[in-house]
A and B are shown apart, each in its own frame.
Chain A
Amino acid sequence: MNQTLTVKDPFGTATTGKLAMWLFLAMDAITFAAILMGGIYLRLRTDMWGDAGQVLNIPLTSFNTFLLIMSSFTMVMALDAIKKNDIKGLKLFLSLTILGGVSFLGIQIYEYAHFIIGNAELGQALQATGLKGDSFLWTSGTYGATFYATTSFHGLHVLTGVIYLSVIFYQSNKGMYSSANYDRIEIAGLFWHFVDLVWILVFTIIYLI
Chain B
Amino acid sequence: MEINHKSLYIKTTIMLSVLTLIEIGISYWDIVRFYQVGLLLTFALAKMACVAYVFMHLYYEEKVLRRILFVPIPLLIYFLLGLAYDAQFNWVIQ
Contacts and interface: CB of A to CB of B under 8 A. Distances in A.
B40 A80 contact: no
Given A52-B28, A193-B55, A204-B40, A69 B9 contact: no
Contacts of B57: 186
Interface size range on A against B: 35 or more
A76 B62 contact: no
Interface size range on B against A: 35 or more
A64 to B, nearest CB: 11
- Determine chain B's interface SS by DSSP, over half rule: helix
Contacts of B61: 12, 14
A30 B74 CA distance: 12
Given A29-B72, A76-B9, A10 B64 contact: yes
Given A37-B79, A76-B55, A209-B40, A204 B23 contact: yes
Interface of A: 10-14, 19, 22, 26, 29-30, 33, 37, 40-42, 44-45, 52-53, 58, 62, 65-66, 69-70, 72-73, 75-77, 80, 186, 189-190, 193-194, 196-197, 200-201, 203-205, 207-209
Interface of B: 5-6, 9-10, 12-13, 16-17, 20-21, 23-24, 26-28, 36-37, 40-41, 43-44, 47-48, 51-52, 54-57, 61-62, 64-65, 69, 72, 76, 79-80, 83-84, 86-88
